[in-house]
Structure 1
Amino acid sequence: MLDANMTQQLKGYLANIKQPIELVASLGDDAKSRELGELLDEIAALSDLIDVVRADDDKRRPSFMIRRKGTDIGVRFAGIPMGHEFTSLVLALLQVGGHPSKTAQDLIEQIKDIEGDYEFETYFSLSCQNCPDVVQALNLMSVLNPNIKHTAIDGALFKDEVDGRKVMAVPTVFLNGEQFASGRMDLEQIVAKIDTGAEAKAAEKIAKKDPFDVLIVGGGPAGAASAVYTARKGLRVGVAAERFGGQVLDTMGIENFISVPYTEGPKLAAQLEEHVKENDVDIMNLQKAEKLIPAAEEGGLHEVKLANGASLKARTIILSTGARWRQMGVPGEDEYRNKGVAYCPHCDGPLFKGKRVAVIGGGNSGVEAAIDLAGIVAHVTLIEFDSDLRADAVLQRKLASLPNVKIITSALTTKVRGDGDKVTGLTYKDRNHDTEHDVDLEGIFVQIGLVPNTEWLKESVALSPRGEIEIDARGETSQPGIFAAGDCTIVPYKQIVIAMGAGSTAGLSAFDYLIRLPTAEVSEAA
């Protein structure tokens, strides 16, 4: 199962285990059970502190529990955690084996103090880049708190269970038998969801913060770049973000980030956050901005009101709130979201193996999605509003070569159809003949561009007709001392590398603004 390179790396990691653990296996007579048994034996051979125990005590087979010997501390995997989940497996081995987590100590203590009994089950896909965050968060919680249990389940391997529970998107989490959440969540978000007093505590903590020299709203590539550049100038910098990393977290392969031939969104997001933290920036996650109140006079304090009732003040603001997937806005879309309507083909595609799906959108993202899905599903129907596809020629040629893809142009999707539980088809209008047609299918992947996250700014700064923040070449908005960068602005070409450059520009402009204020009281190091 493990190649020579993986074996060598894993052996190095397992040297950090401090307490003996056992891999308690439940196996059948099938090929996947034999694969899992082979993997567990290979892992155990790499450390004297690891033993394999055959128990066959779990209904899901193949599955195994990583358990600290002599205790009930452990985590369970149903399936073979390779692919994106191999990192989850490694971390689980280390944490159950007593290696400390790098998670902030206050969050660790918060997890340990959670009361009540929690039985979590997470359905994941080996091709899902968002699933490991959820799996790793719940695994760590189950190691830290004996009242919390977690099983990570490969949805593709336990298809009957997935169908029975109507799981049509990953990651999907069940808590004590009831659906708890669907989609990417990090550790802080999960803890906040079950710790009912977490939001009030966070608001109280934020309310006590002194004004910042620079407050950055949004934690994507633009916000991260702004934070690094301003902090390195010696300014007091804060970042308020709903989720650090932004839309990068939902991105699979990144192959056009100059000097890095290939990386993946979650990995890049983690590196961005690590770099920002190295520069002594106050990162405030899970914070949704609801209102911006510009300073009454130049040089005064701007205020950002948050959804939890707290406010943050700063001498300058950098808006880097990014964008989100554009929705079709048709009947049935909201009703069947995560019940057949999806936005991430890499994450959810494997759940539609052997089924018929549609991709909405003929740009690069839509055509790439159709190509990827064609290798998994029975048939793909690509629907494009314009008379021609807009994707790069090389992608169009690849798409046209696939036998199980149908392309429909000059078509407007008008309705998502379903049976109350899941998607059963869609309706589209032929724009050339003004006729409507039904397509029977089980999944719809929407890939029609982005919408800027700027609705909360309508009364604060000038926006374009598309809702993008209007800025000049220096990243300045219509309000003195307020800057913006990234996908939420009028800057064309929504790309990671462009957002980073724009964030750097905005950060330098904010610094330049501060040092030119006649009465500015920036940090001593500035």
Structure 2
Amino acid sequence: MLAPELKQQLTAYFKLLEQPVVFSLDAGTSANGDKTKDFLTEVVALDPKLSVKQAVLKRQPSFTVDRAGSDPSGIVFAGVPLGHEFESFVLAVLQVSGHAPKISAAERQQILAIDTDLHFETFASLSCHNCPDVVQALNIMSVLNPHVSHTMIEGGMFQDEATAKNIMAVPTVFLNGKEWHNGRATLAELLAKIDGHEGAVPVDDDVASKLYDVLIIGGGPAAGAAAIYAARKGLATAVVADHLGGQPLETVGIENIPGTDYVTGQQLMDNITAQLTKYHVTQMSGQTVSGITGGAPVHVALQSGATLQSKTVIVATGAHWRQLGVPGEDEFRNKGVAYCPHCDGPLYKGKDVAVVGGGNSGLEAAIDLAGIARHVTVLEFAPAISADAVLQAKASALSNVDLIANAQTTAVLGDGRVTGLQYVDRDTQQSHSLTVDGVFVQIGLVPNTEFVGDSLKLNAHHEITVDRRGATSLAHVFAAGDCTDSAYKQIVIAMGSGATAALSAFADIAFVD
């Protein structure tokens, strides 16, 4: 089951084991149980400190991760933790064996202070890039505090349970049997939610009190490139974002970066994050910026109540998926209406789905979903499908994909969850209905600029207007990437504009100083 390169990686990781670890397995009698048993058999063969024994657990197949001779850790994996959850599995094994999780002292204190029993269950998919943050955070809580336990449930393997619980998006977290959280979250955000303070995450005083040379708002490729260029110029650089990764995390494969034949969005942003660490860039994740005030220095207000100060600021907040704006979309969001086919696609195995949007993103989604769903219907508002010819050819060759142009989506239908979709043929004005279990919206992007208010000049599309140096209408403030009025929205263009903005910030500081 494990590819040679995965075995090699695991062997290297397991050399770091401090204490023996035992996996307690309840495989059941299904083919999925055989897969899970084979997975663990191959894993324990890699190091003598690992062993597996039979057990009786709540779900089949599933297994616990415990330190031999100690009380249970509370960590359970229901399914085979490969894909994006491979790292979650490795970290769980190492932390159970005695490796201290890499968290702040304040976070550790918050976890240790939990004095009520909390059992979390996270429904995840192996292709979901948002899920590992949640899974790993809840595993850390389980390792450190016996009051906390956590089960990761692979939604594709436990599809019947996911359907019974009306789970149509991942990650979905249940706490003590009740639905508690949906979507990406950091450890700090989850701890704040446990404490009853959902939303704002406090910023350390020593971080908030610094005067930075360059403060970059955003966590995507434009922000990453800006931070790397600024730090390499010797500038005191910080990045503040709700999460690090940006739009590339929703892209499985990237094949148009010159000199790089193929890279996943996750790999690309992991590489950028590693460079930020290498160049000692201060990283503030889990933060929402609420406003910018010009001056010398520029002030950046956070939703947590803190205010950051910097000689220059670069806004690189990217964009988010545009919504349909039709009846039923809000009502059935995460109950059949989805925006990330890679995350939520496995939950629609053998079902009929629709993709709204015939551009590159729409057809890439349709091609991916075609390997999972029974049938995929693509609806495009324009008179013709607009995706690249190579994607059109690939989608047209799939027997379970239909492409419909000139179709205006008018409503999402459902009863507790999505059951269908209505659209109008823009030529004939005839209304049509589709019976589908899911609707994936891929109709373009909206810039993340709500927080700037009237501080910066925006165009009619709410994009920040910039000049050729990336300068905005406010002194000492620059902008880069998909949140700006750049003609094209591409990763390589965002990176270039981030570098431009950083060099302009450097020149601005040199001129002022």
TM class by shorter chain equals over 0.9
Aligned to 1:230: 230
Deviations 1:228-279 (A, max 9, x none): 2222223222222111222222222222233333222233223222211222
Q: Aligned-pair distance for 1:360?
A: 0.3
Q: Aligned-pair distance for 1:106?
A: 4.0
The AA in structure 2 aligned to 1:181 is H
Identity %: 50
Deviations 1:302-343 (A, max 9, x none): 222222222222221111111001111111111100100001
What is the CA–CA distance in structure 2 between the aligned matches of 1:461 and 1:266, rounded to whole Å? 31
Q: Aligned-pair distance for 1:68?
A: 1.0
Q: Is the 8 A contact 2:381 2:407 kept in 1?
A: yes
Q: Aligned-pair distance for 1:74?
A: 4.3
Q: Is the 8 A contact 1:486 1:503 kept in 2?
A: yes
1:93 aligns with 2:100: no
What is the CA–CA distance in structure 2 between the aligned matches of 1:321 and 1:58, rounded to whole Å? 44
Kindly report which structure 2 residues correspond to 1:33-432, keeping only aligned pairs within 5 A, or say none. 33-55=33-55, 57-69=56-68, 70-196=70-196, 202=202, 205=205, 209-295=209-295, 300-419=296-415, 421-432=416-427
1:443 corresponds, among 407, 416, 438, to: 438
**TM-score normalised by structure 2 residue count:** 0.95
Q: Aligned-pair distance for 1:198?
A: 8.7
DSSP 3-state at the match of 1:216: strand
What is the CA–CA distance in structure 1 between the aligned matches of 2:114 and 2:223, rounded to whole Å? 32
What is the CA–CA distance in structure 2 between the aligned matches of 1:340 and 1:491, rounded to whole Å? 33
Q: Is the 8 A contact 2:24 2:52 kept in 1?
A: yes
Q: Structure 2: which 5+ runs fail to align?
A: none
Aligned to 2:495: 500
The AA in structure 1 aligned to 2:447 is P
Q: Structure 1: which 5+ runs fail to align?
A: 521-526
Name the stretch that deviates more: 470-479 or 23-32. 23-32
Deviations 1:412-455 (A, max 9, x none): 11111111x10111111221122222211110000011000112
Name the stretch that deviates more: 325-334 or 138-147. 138-147
Aligned to 1:474: 469
Deviations 1:130-186 (A, max 9, x none): 222222222222112222101011112222211111111112111111112222223
Deviations 1:101-141 (A, max 9, x none): 33344433433333322111011122223222222222222
Name the stretch that deviates more: 237-246 or 148-157. 237-246
Aligned to 2:449: 454
The AA in structure 2 aligned to 1:502 is S
DSSP 3-state at the match of 1:254: coil
Q: Is the 8 A contact 1:19 1:68 kept in 2?
A: yes
Name the stretch that deviates more: 322-331 or 133-142. 133-142
What is the CA–CA distance in structure 2 between the aligned matches of 1:208 and 1:432, rounded to whole Å? 57
**For the structure 1 residues 304 and 8, does the alpha-carbon distance in structure 2 shift closer, same or farther, using more than 3 Å as the test?**
closer
Aligned to 1:523: none
What is the CA–CA distance in structure 2 between the aligned matches of 1:200 and 1:60, rounded to whole Å? 35
Q: Is the 8 A contact 1:225 1:500 kept in 2?
A: yes
The AA in structure 2 aligned to 1:243 is H
DSSP 3-state at the match of 1:396: helix
Deviations 1:197-251 (A, max 9, x none): 6977715737951332222111211112222222222322222211122222222
**For the structure 1 residues 230 and 7, does the alpha-carbon distance in structure 2 shift closer, same or farther, using more than 3 Å as the test?**
closer
CA RMSD of aligned residues (A): 2.0
**For the structure 1 residues 200 and 482, does the alpha-carbon distance in structure 2 shift closer, same or farther, using more than 3 Å as the test?**
closer
What is the CA–CA distance in structure 1 between the aligned matches of 2:437 and 2:199, rounded to whole Å? 38
Q: Is the 8 A contact 1:326 1:449 kept in 2?
A: yes
Q: Is the 8 A contact 2:208 2:308 kept in 1?
A: no
DSSP 3-state at the match of 1:380: strand
Q: Aligned-pair distance for 1:281?
A: 2.4
Q: Is the 8 A contact 1:204 1:310 kept in 2?
A: no
Q: Aligned-pair distance for 1:98?
A: 1.4
Q: Aligned-pair distance for 1:83?
A: 2.6
What is the CA–CA distance in structure 2 between the aligned matches of 1:94 and 1:497, rounded to whole Å? 36
Q: Is the 8 A contact 2:316 2:481 kept in 1?
A: yes
**TM-score normalised by structure 1 residue count:** 0.93
DSSP 3-state at the match of 2:64: strand
What is the CA–CA distance in structure 1 between the aligned matches of 2:269 and 2:256, rounded to whole Å? 16
The AA in structure 1 aligned to 2:485 is I
Aligned to 2:30: 30
What is the CA–CA distance in structure 2 between the aligned matches of 1:2 and 1:220, rounded to whole Å? 32
Q: Aligned-pair distance for 1:7?
A: 2.4
What is the CA–CA distance in structure 1 between the aligned matches of 2:6 and 2:397, rounded to whole Å? 36
Q: Is the 8 A contact 1:68 1:74 kept in 2?
A: no
The AA in structure 1 aligned to 2:139 is N
DSSP 3-state at the match of 2:84: helix
